[in-house]
Amino acid sequence: MKLWQERRRLDRRVETFTVGDDPEIDLELVEFDCRASIAHTKMLRSIGVLNAAEARSLETELKNIIALHRKKKFKIGVEDEDCHTAIENHLTRRLGAAGKKIHAGRSRNDQVLTAIRLWSRLKLRQIGTRLQVLVKTLNLLSRRYRNAPVPGYTHSRKAMPYTVGKYFAAFADAFRDDLRFIESVSRLTDQNPLGSAAGYGTTLKPDRDLTTRLLDFRKTQRNELYAQNSRGKFESLILAALSQIMLDIQRLASDLILFSMEEFGFFRLADEFSTGSSIMPQKKNPDVFEIARANFAVVHSAYLQVIEILKGLTSGYHRDLQKTKEPLIRGVKNTLETLQIMTLALKGLRVDVARCRSACTDEIRSAARALDLVRRGVPFRDAYRAIARTVGVRS
């Protein structure tokens, strides 16, 4: 039964429509809601709303739910609406009055906020770790091929000589910046909303700093309405940061798809990372990089979904915000998977140093040749023109 339900019956189709995928999505959040509920329980004990025995039994049962959940034995039904209701219903079933007391001083609004914040914080840490592994892999490739010459391209045409090592290092630097960006977003969003209730606080005078300490938040999000208004906003910050990671990944993937074409032959993908065709027996396809490239759109459109939900909403909670949950989870999971697979695929990548070298044809040294003249005192623009006259311009 829903928490607010008693007097009225909700039309079954309306119920299905408004609840949507929440029971399924919320499985991600069960553990985090239980942890937040434990902190809330301790706080309620500290201000005397719960007695010692009630607090103890609630804590024990909340830990029990976590254990059940890990064994995939904690269920959320459509009639429960979401994990928060399922948890309260479970507690009341098991503990009676104590269960009925836990919702004092909070609303589902701050409960959802808190669970999502805790979940996001953990996930951003995992993403940070995977970014670091990816950077390490790129650094390794960078060192291994630091002396391998390869043409640098501008306008999709050979431009100047570069090295394969520096090529990989360019991406190591990009992902390092992404890591820093993730960290700053993580810091910015690490604020405790618990106790802000429906966005306007309660008359219960909760000790919000206590839950901040217990849940290890960087700070209490003091203003209750801002706690609520940051729903969606913080999700969009996180997804904007993930979009940056995916933007670099799709570029790396695009490069690897291009330069592993037989017409270039700079890279080769390991056999166990290539797929075939249902009709052309000879094909060996770079599907891993193609899916990685497409995943940019998966993550970025999740960002856009959140942004477009927020546009036009006034302050305070609106049910619209429920639809920011799924894109957040989708974006995070997709980024995690893609980071892992890119690292793996890079490890399986072969560099054909000979083909890289032989692609460094003479004309890409024209700029260097102009600079040779510069070093002998010729003004650059004159040197440029002198060399230009000697080169057969290639299409």
Q: What is the distance between the alpha carbons of residues 123 and 119, in angstroms, rounded to a whole number?
A: 6
Of the pair 212, 228, the CB lying nearest a copy of itself is at 228
Q: Are 37 and 104 in contact (CB under 8 A)?
A: no
Q: Following CA atoms 178, 182, 183, 186 in sequence, which dihedral angle do they give, to the nearest 10 degrees?
A: 170
In whole angstroms, the minimum distance from the beta carbon of 16 to a copy of itself comes to: 8
Which residue type occupies 135?
V
Q: Is 382 in the site for a copy of itself (CB under 8 A)?
A: yes
> Among residue numbers 160 through 189, which ones bind a copy of itself (CB under 8 A)?
160-162, 166-167, 169-171, 173-174, 177, 180-181, 184-185, 188
What are the tokens at 28? Answer: 């991600």
> Among residue numbers 13 through 52, which ones bind a copy of itself (CB under 8 A)?
13-14, 17-18, 20, 49
Of the pair 67, 385, the CB lying nearest a copy of itself is at 385
Rounded to the nearest 5 degrees, what angle is found at the Cα of 311, between the Cα atoms of 307 and 313? 125
In whole angstroms, the minimum distance from the beta carbon of 300 to a copy of itself comes to: 6
Q: What is the distance between the alpha carbons of residues 260 and 267, in angstroms, rounded to a whole number?
A: 5
Please report where in the chains the tokens 């005078």 appear, as a residue: 205
Of the pair 147, 282, the CB lying nearest a copy of itself is at 282
In whole angstroms, the minimum distance from the beta carbon of 368 to a copy of itself comes to: 4
Q: What is the distance between the alpha carbons of residues 77 and 8, in angstroms, rounded to a whole number?
A: 19
Rounded to the nearest 5 degrees, what angle is found at the Cα of 8, between the Cα atoms of 4 and 10? 90
Q: Is 250 in the site for a copy of itself (CB under 8 A)?
A: yes
Q: What is the distance between the alpha carbons of residues 161 and 144, in angstroms, rounded to a whole number?
A: 18
Strand pairing partners for 269? 349
Of the pair 11, 73, the CB lying nearest a copy of itself is at 11
Q: Phi/psi at 151 (nearest 5 deg)? A: -70, 140
Q: Is 323 in the site for a copy of itself (CB under 8 A)?
A: yes
* CA neighbor of 161 nearest in space, from 308, 356, 293: 356
Q: Is 304 in the site for a copy of itself (CB under 8 A)?
A: yes
Q: How many residues of this chain bind a copy of itself (CB under 8 A)?
A: 176
Using CB under 8 A, pick the residue from 123, 327, 351, 356 that binds a copy of itself: 327
Window of 26-34, 68-76, 122-130, 253-261 that interacts with a copy of itself by CB under 8 A: 253-261
> Among residue numbers 46 through 105, which ones bind a copy of itself (CB under 8 A)?
49, 84-85, 88, 92, 97-105
Q: Are 241 and 122 in contact (CB under 8 A)?
A: no
Does residue 155 have an active-site annotation? yes
Using CB under 8 A, pick the residue from 40, 108, 130, 208 that binds a copy of itself: 108
* CA neighbor of 212 nearest in space, from 84, 118, 106: 118
Q: Is 143 in the site for a copy of itself (CB under 8 A)?
A: no
Window of 25-33, 72-80, 117-125, 298-306 that interacts with a copy of itself by CB under 8 A: 298-306
Window of 26-34, 61-69, 129-137, 374-382 that interacts with a copy of itself by CB under 8 A: 374-382
Query: Following DSSP, what letter does each residue of 216-284 receive, concatenated?
Result: T-SEE---HHHHHHTTTHHHHHHHHHHHHHHHHHHHHHHHHHHHTSTTT-SEEE-GGG-B--SS-TT--
Catalytic residue among 40, 57, 84, 155: 155
Of the pair 71, 377, the CB lying nearest a copy of itself is at 377
> Among residue numbers 188 through 247, which ones bind a copy of itself (CB under 8 A)?
188, 197-204, 221-226, 228-230, 233, 236-237, 240, 243-244, 247
Using CB under 8 A, pick the residue from 66, 133, 140, 313 that binds a copy of itself: 313
Using CB under 8 A, pick the residue from 38, 43, 257, 351 that binds a copy of itself: 257
As annotated, the active-site residues are 155, 277
